[in-house]
Amino acid sequence: MNSTSEVLEERLLKGRDVLTWGDYTSSEIEQLLESAAQLKEKQQKGIPHQPLAGRSLGMIFENASTRTRVSFEVGMTQLGGHALFLSSADLQIGRGEPIQDTAKVLSRYIDGLIIRANDHEKVKHLAESSDVPVINALTDLYHPCQALADMLTIQEHKGSLKGRKIVYVGDGNNVAHSLMIIAAKLGLNITLSTPEGYEGTESIWTEAKKIAMETGSKVEHVVNPKEAVKDADVIYTDVWVSMGAEKEEEERGKVFERYQVDETLMSLADTEAIFMHCLPAHRGEEVSSAVIDGPHSVVYEQAENRLHVQKAILQAVFK
């Protein structure tokens, strides 16, 4: 049975938006991880759990999606509710309707919204105008649901999070940003190893380092990946060319050439280190086939855990 403080904390999550983990306390994030683990166990045991029966989730997508769309839709069904896929091309916002009008109208039909959009400011604007909770399903700056699934996966393999060393190798993109924030919140030490000029957004670095000072963790940048991965518990990478940067593909291929996670790089980490990738992956570019398909890889468990953490988020924030 939950303690009084846990029940009060659960109530504080009701109606909350999930745009970035910078808006949440460490204990709130830990609570979501605990809930996700419990939901995963219930599913594995075949125990029905449908607290969102009769509820509806709107899912706005500006970009293609596999894991995010399917895991949210299936997750909502497993919780007893219903999810509606809403392509931005089919909505009036695709023809210029103000985002606040869309938000106000949809709030009268549904109980929550997820949105995958190019511009994080658009998502913030949607959340400000909406009367139901809005969940960031990926923007140019953040990918919070992925980061929460990553923490659950690390916890399952390492037993604890605090003090673990995670090294992200590659492009300082939205995935890297969310990893920095959530790692600092939960007391992990995180190193980004990127080429100079590809570290990510300066304001997010400033925020992550401030959080790290409060939690006693460390956030750092190391250009040389071979130096960065020493004693790493986790090595993480993502594609070198994110959505929207396709015109830079040739240039980025040259810049990131020495940032491929291969067997040599993995051998420099802790012998029990795990390899992570948010997918989709380009074998032979940011990661070798031998690593992503090898014994250290947990990428499919990561993908599965998207389902469980998103169910925990939905259950927590729906009013």
The answer to whether residue 258 is catalytic is: no
55 annotated as a binding-site residue: no
145 annotated as a binding-site residue: yes
Name the catalytic one among 17, 55, 78, 116.
116
Report the alpha-carbon distance of residue 295 to residue 299 in Å, rounded.
11
| Rounded alpha-carbon distances, angstroms, from residue 116 to 73, 121, 132, 183, 300 | 14, 12, 16, 23, 22
Name the catalytic one among 31, 146, 302, 310.
146
The answer to whether residue 278 is catalytic is: yes
What's the token pair of residue 122? 């658009």
The answer to whether residue 69 is catalytic is: no
- Return the residue matching tokens 């673990």: 164
164 annotated as a binding-site residue: no
Q: Is 134 left (phi over 0), alpha (psi -120 to 50) or beta?
A: beta
Distance of CA 239 to the CA centre of its chain: 15
The answer to whether residue 146 is catalytic is: yes
Name the catalytic one among 177, 238, 252, 310.
238
Strands 82-87 and 56-61: parallel
Distance of CA 181 to the CA centre of its chain: 11
258 annotated as a binding-site residue: no
238 annotated as a binding-site residue: yes
92 annotated as a binding-site residue: yes
280 within 8 A of 239, measured Cβ to Cβ = yes
**The residue type at 120:** H
Name the catalytic one among 306, 308, 310, 315.
306
By the 10 Å C-beta count (0-12 exposed, 13-18 middle, 19+ buried), 215 is classed as middle
What's the token pair of residue 196? 């100079």
**The residue type at 258:** R
279 annotated as a binding-site residue: yes
Q: Kindly report the length of the chain.
A: 319
306 annotated as a binding-site residue: yes
68 annotated as a binding-site residue: yes
Q: Is 84 helix (H, G, I), strand (E, B) or coil?
A: strand
Order of all β-strands in the sheet with 56-61: 82-87, 56-61, 112-116, 134-136
Name the catalytic one among 233, 277, 278, 310.
278
The answer to whether residue 55 is catalytic is: no
65 annotated as a binding-site residue: yes
The answer to whether residue 143 is catalytic is: yes
66 annotated as a binding-site residue: yes
CA-closest candidate to residue 71, choices 55, 83, 87: 83
Name the catalytic one among 16, 143, 164, 296.
143
Annotated binding site for L-ornithine: 174, 238, 242-243
Q: What are the catalytic residues?
A: 116, 143, 146, 238, 278, 306
Annotated binding site: 65-68, 92, 116, 143-146, 174, 238, 242-243, 278-279, 306
Annotated binding site for carbamoyl phosphate: 65-68, 92, 116, 143-146, 278-279, 306
